[in-house]
Structure 1
Amino acid sequence: MESMGMKQGNWRIRMGWFLGITLVIGCAQVSSPVGGPLDETAPQVLEMTPPNGSSDLQLESLTLRFDEYVVSRNAVQQMLISPPIAGTPQFKTKGKEVHVLFESDWFEAETTYVLNFGDALVDLHESNPAEALFFAFSTGSELDTLTLEGQVVDHLTGSGVGALRTLFFKDSTPWDSIWGGERPVAVAITDEEGFFQGSFLAAGLYKALAVEDVNRDYRWNPGESLAFSNMSIAAGERWAAPWLFAPTAPPLSPTYIASASVDSSGFMRVLAPKNEEEMEEEWSVLMDDKALDILWFRTGDSVKLWTQEPQFLESPLVIWTWTDGADSLQARLTRSPIGSALNMAPQWSAKTDVRSERTWEFGRVLRSVDPALWSLRVDTINQLISPNDVTLSASSTGGHSVEIRTEEVPGQQYELTIFPGGVTSREGASVQDTLMWKWKTWPEDHFGSFTLAVSDLPGPGWLRCSPKGKAKVGLSRIRCESDTIVGWPKLHPGQYEVGFELDANNDSIWQAIAPLRQQTPEPYFYLPEALEVRSNWEMEWTWSLKREDEELEQ
């Protein structure tokens, strides 16, 4: 029993030592503090060895001492050395110090070099990058010290845009190479007011651009907002006018035929999204290596094709050609008819503005329409529809829609009825059920009106008034050559945005930014306050377009 007690006691002693050591080790571990405000402060350089701006330097190592613990992140990809060198530097981080190692024969004699670190060095816990960090030196006795300055402003508001990477290139660098990813010779960051300064430049002419650089790759990529100038200037000077910063179009999606099917009548439907709205296209169909005589029309991403007369097609080859490419796909045979059989789809809502005609689209190509089997009721009164009031769209435009003259008035209820046999498809099928659609026109007192007196126009352009958040669904633009008064007499209740598109080059086209064509955006002015339109209200506003900064570069 005693020996058992001794063993038990020893076990307790050993356990006590184990717990004590564990506690000591646990207390010695380094970890980030729990709780408290998030660290959003970028690490700051306290010292560089050798000093920034050194000359007669054969660089083999560079030491940066920070005010907090740092680590390197994608350092080789993020570091931009201008002009380029023959080798690849090595990064070694230890606590608050970073050592960058080189070989002296990588650098040319009598040359100024600038090392931009980008986002290569970040703090330990929150990954805040050291901002606008660079090191400049010369292998000769003189350091290039010329600068280039300018400002970037938002093309809508005119306010400065900060935190943009400004990339500088020798004037001899073609724009095609710049858009293709040519590395810049210098980099700067815009401040909160949009001002930038490129430093340590050699004498000569330069061109430049400012980009949000979402990918952090020192180049512009489609979809990244951008500002640039078509004007090259000499180092030591300043771009006199601000650059206009604007969003660019996203990258084009691949163009191809996603699917194709054909029914027993030779009617085909193809899914083929366009990557550009204005893309010119042509469609053709081959059967046993022979071209068929077809018609086609597009609705959104869907394209419908058919032969003049119904015929059975077994695995026809559908061919799509556009300006700079082509694609083809064998159509798959489907046993059921493609599309809804003669269901009509009105192109308006149940409550609508007054129109003089209405258009119905059908799911099939139409052969004929019988107006005697169409009926239009206005409130409680039936109106006769004559053959002259009904028009079937031509085959060349799809042959699937019918337009009817209605001559509507405000505040009335309308009801269109198509009786069986009123429409016959290309295959000889006719409407079997009665089709009906009701709608009502807005009364006169539903609308509000807006009158705007504009002054201090910087040049000719267009005034526009668009539903808030729906600029592309805006009302017709009104051309203005000078100070004037314009009006929109019938606006639906709601909020609107009012703007002015300046035709700076007076070519009757308001141009957006288009980098690949070296096209800078034309300025856009807008009222910061939204217009609130109410039913049966008349709104009158005055607007001066004078800006503090009158110069806007094109």
Structure 2
Amino acid sequence: MQKQFKEFRSKPAATWFTLILLFVLFASFEAFITSCASRSSPSGGEKDTLAPQLDTSFPPNQTIHFKSPSIRLKFEEYVDLKSPQQQIRISPLLPDDLEIIGKGKEVLIKGLDSLKENTTYIISFGAALADFTEGNVNKDFKYVFSTGSYIDSLELKGRLHDAYTGEAEKDMLVVLYATDRKSTRDSLLYKVRPEYYAFSNELGEFKMTNMRSGKYLLAAFADKESDFKLNANAVKMAFWTDTIDLQPDSVYAYQLFSYDPTPKFRYINARHGALGDITFNFSAPMDSAFKVEVLDAPQDSGFFKLGTERDTLYYRFRFKRDSLNFKINYDTLFVDSVISIRLREYDEPKLKISAPVKEFRKNDTVFIYSNLVIAKWNIDSTAFYTPKDTLKRLPLRDSAREKRWFYAPPHQSGFSLMFNKGAAEYSASNRLKDSLWFSFELKSGEDLGTLAFNVSADSALPYILQILKEDDSPYRLIPFTDSTTVVFKNELPQKFKAFLIRDLNADGKWTTGNFLEGQQPEIRIPYTEELEIRANWELDLDWRYRSESINNP
């Protein structure tokens, strides 16, 4: 072994140089081959901004008398299919989903064994077709073919907006059903898949092409299960009231208005979500037939409070327990059922008092707010300062909101409030910890402004003028026909929002739609100009609105 080692060490330097040179050449060649085999963007030149374009297809696009079980598409560059099962769709729909296979520059579509006779089909790629290097998407690519002797060419387009907010509806499924089906109009959306469909874009626009003539039902809904069926009564939807008759040489454009249907009332659940607060949740405003009663609470230690939207009921309490039992009753759904709610441990928050609005007029109510329901005020720890006097004057409880307190008008001057430590208490161990000082300023004369808002509309229709404050809190709701004038007299400077509601059922409030009854949602139209009251200004504004029927394309 020692001899062999010596012989190895004694090899000439030239031999070592030759071996190293061969190694370097081999490594460089391998790196060159690897770089050539990798698909990547060139280091120089302009960036590729073009989406993949079709080179050839078999059968060719726009084929008639189509009989092939598959379609092979070849593009001009390597393609990357993004979510093909969700993006690539065929219309009219088939009983089973398409099988999509992408490889290199080619896309193979299989699953065409159940095509109908004399029918035009459109395969839309959505946002699935992107080039491999830069990800440029061809959103307009479609493959069209017909099993009959011609390609259907009728088109239908439209827009879809929320009836109440006016916002465009994105990614909502818009559908057409042939009305010659055996299924009734009421059951079409729930039981069968549509003949034609499209999805609305970010502007609420939709378009269907290559359709055959005939009579159809037009609707739209949020397809939450991705099965092209309306799966629940409370899903957001829209529909066209009348049957649509598609005929050649006509243009069809429709405006649809979406709405959230009123769900049937049902009790959902109850939970202890905050300190001293159990919330009962319902699917709709609380039915008067629903009854709930606490069973094992100390007497006069809690109370029930209905939420402002009437779809929640609160039980407020001030004692500690591991759990509470309630008896609930709602006609025949459940009779005297008892539910037990386990109470969670919550850290008691520090009592706080706030006064967000510091300016008022002579006849305004001045509000202060607390984060907890105040059990008691200590009048000796409070002071009410006016320019002339110092008074002992406590705020009054607001019966509508138990965490809001107020000082009633009229007010003769501005004033300040001093709440010293212990001025208010939630419990014996949770009193106001820090002294607070609030100053309120009385505004009058040149500090205020006046605005006359004159609104006119179609005299034959009932309307509602809805005015909101800038934070969307309600200000006024005025039913009228023909015209009305709202006078904001001697108001604090502020901005408002105004809307017109087509009060189709003349009930004085906005009403949602009902597909089964053929009732469209009432349309809410925004006033798009500035509606602002400025100090020491008197303004006159006019809004003349002329409606357009929602049932005419």
TM-score under structure 1 normalisation?
Answer: 0.71
Residue deviations 1:266-308 (CA, integer Å, cap 9, x gap): xx823437466734565433349x999973235788933459x
Q: Distance in 1 between matches of 2:542 and 2:279?
A: 48
Q: Distance in 1 between matches of 2:398 and 2:367?
A: 10
Distance 1:526 1:358, change over 3 A: closer
Residue deviations 1:344-391 (CA, integer Å, cap 9, x gap): 85676343455565677774585x999999875543325687xxx997
Give 1:339 deviation, angstroms. 7.4
Q: Is the 8 A contact 1:461 1:481 kept in 2?
A: yes
Number of the residue aligned with 2:526: 526
Q: Is the 8 A contact 1:498 1:530 kept in 2?
A: no
Match of 1:209 among 205, 208, 219: 219
Q: Distance in 2 between matches of 1:207 and 1:348?
A: 52
Q: Percent identity?
A: 16
**Pairing 1:184–2:182 present:** no
Structure 1 SS opposite 2:72: strand
Number of the residue aligned with 2:240: 229
Q: Distance in 2 between matches of 1:46 and 1:212?
A: 36
5+ residue gaps, structure 1, are 262-267
Number of the residue aligned with 2:551: 553
Number of the residue aligned with 2:152: 145
**Pairing 1:167–2:167 present:** no
Q: Distance in 2 between matches of 1:478 and 1:284?
A: 38
Number of the residue aligned with 2:4: none
Q: Is the 8 A contact 1:93 1:99 kept in 2?
A: yes
Match of 2:314 among 284, 299, 303: 303
Give matches, 1:340-489, under 5 Å.
Answer: 345=353, 349-355=357-363, 363=372, 376-382=384-390, 406-409=408-411, 412-415=414-417, 438-444=438-444, 445-455=446-456, 457=458, 459-468=461-470, 470=471, 472-489=472-489
Residue deviations 1:491-531 (CA, integer Å, cap 9, x gap): 44344434333334544333356778865443333343434
Give 1:98 deviation, angstroms. 1.9
Q: Distance in 2 between matches of 1:122 and 1:277?
A: 43
Q: Distance in 2 between matches of 1:523 and 1:178?
A: 25
5+ residue gaps, structure 2, are 1-9
Match of 1:92 among 101, 126, 130: 101
Q: Distance in 1 between matches of 2:238 and 2:92?
A: 24
Structure 1 SS opposite 2:475: coil
Residue deviations 1:65-115 (CA, integer Å, cap 9, x gap): 4344324344345444455546554333343332223464x345x352524
Q: Distance in 2 between matches of 1:26 and 1:431?
A: 74
Q: Is the 8 A contact 2:498 2:527 kept in 1?
A: yes
Q: How many residues align?
A: 523
Q: Is the 8 A contact 1:285 1:317 kept in 2?
A: yes
Q: Distance in 2 between matches of 1:406 and 1:187?
A: 59
Q: RMSD in angstroms over aligned alpha carbons?
A: 5.4
Give 1:179 deviation, angstroms. 6.0
Distance 1:270 1:37, change over 3 A: farther
Q: Distance in 2 between matches of 1:448 and 1:215?
A: 53
The letter for the 2-side match of 1:269 is: G
Structure 2 SS opposite 1:26: helix
Residue deviations 1:170-216 (CA, integer Å, cap 9, x gap): 3355677666585322124679894734433363x321235687997
Give 1:537 deviation, angstroms. 1.9
Give 1:31 deviation, angstroms. 1.0
Distance 1:160 1:419, change over 3 A: closer
Q: Distance in 2 between matches of 1:4 and 1:128?
A: 60
Distance 1:153 1:364, change over 3 A: closer
Q: Is the 8 A contact 2:130 2:137 kept in 1?
A: yes
Number of the residue aligned with 1:264: none
Structure 1 SS opposite 2:509: coil
Q: Distance in 2 between matches of 1:452 and 1:304?
A: 43
Distance 1:134 1:216, change over 3 A: farther
Q: Is the 8 A contact 2:383 2:418 kept in 1?
A: yes
Residue deviations 1:23-59 (CA, integer Å, cap 9, x gap): 2431442213568887675544455432445444323
Number of the residue aligned with 2:497: 497
Match of 1:136 among 132, 141, 145: 145
Q: Distance in 1 between matches of 2:103 and 2:404?
A: 77
Number of the residue aligned with 2:34: 25
Q: Distance in 2 between matches of 1:319 and 1:71?
A: 59
Structure 2 SS opposite 1:5: helix
